[in-house]
Amino acid sequence: MSDSNASQPLAPGSLTGRRALVTGSSRGIGADTVRRFAEAGADVVVNFRNKAPRAEKLAAELRDLGVRALVQGADLTDPASLAEMFAAVQAEYGGLDILVLNASGGMESGMGEDYALKLNRDAQLAVLDAALPLLGTGSRVVFVTSHQAHFIRTTPTMPEYEPVALSKRAGEDALRERIPELTERGVEFVVVSGDMIEGTVTATLLNRLNPGAIEERREQAGRLYNVGEFAAEVALAAVEPVPADHTRLIGDVTGFGG
Q: What's the pLDDT tens digit per position in 142-186?
A: 999 999 999 999 998 888 888 899 999 999 999 999 999 999 999
Task: Please give the DSSP secondary-structure letter assigned to residue 242.
Answer: P
What pLDDT does 141 receive? 98
Residue-wise pLDDT tens digits, 11-30: 999 999 999 999 999 999 99
- Let me know if residue 256 belongs to a domain: no
Question: What residue numbers bound the domain in which 65 lies?
Answer: 3-250
For residue 162, the domain's CATH number is: 3.40.50.720
* pTM, 2 dp: 0.93
Burial of 253: CB neighbours in 10 Å, binned 0-12, 13-18, 19+: middle
- Let me know if residue 117 belongs to a domain: yes
Q: What is the Rg, in whole angstroms, of the alpha carbon atoms belonging to the chain? A: 17
How many domains would you assign to the chain?
A: 1
Q: CA 114, 253, 193, 137 torsion: positive or negative?
A: negative
Judge contact between 6 and 205, C-beta under 8 A: no
Whether pLDDT at 82 is above 90: yes
- Let me know if residue 108 belongs to a domain: yes
- Let me know if residue 210 belongs to a domain: yes
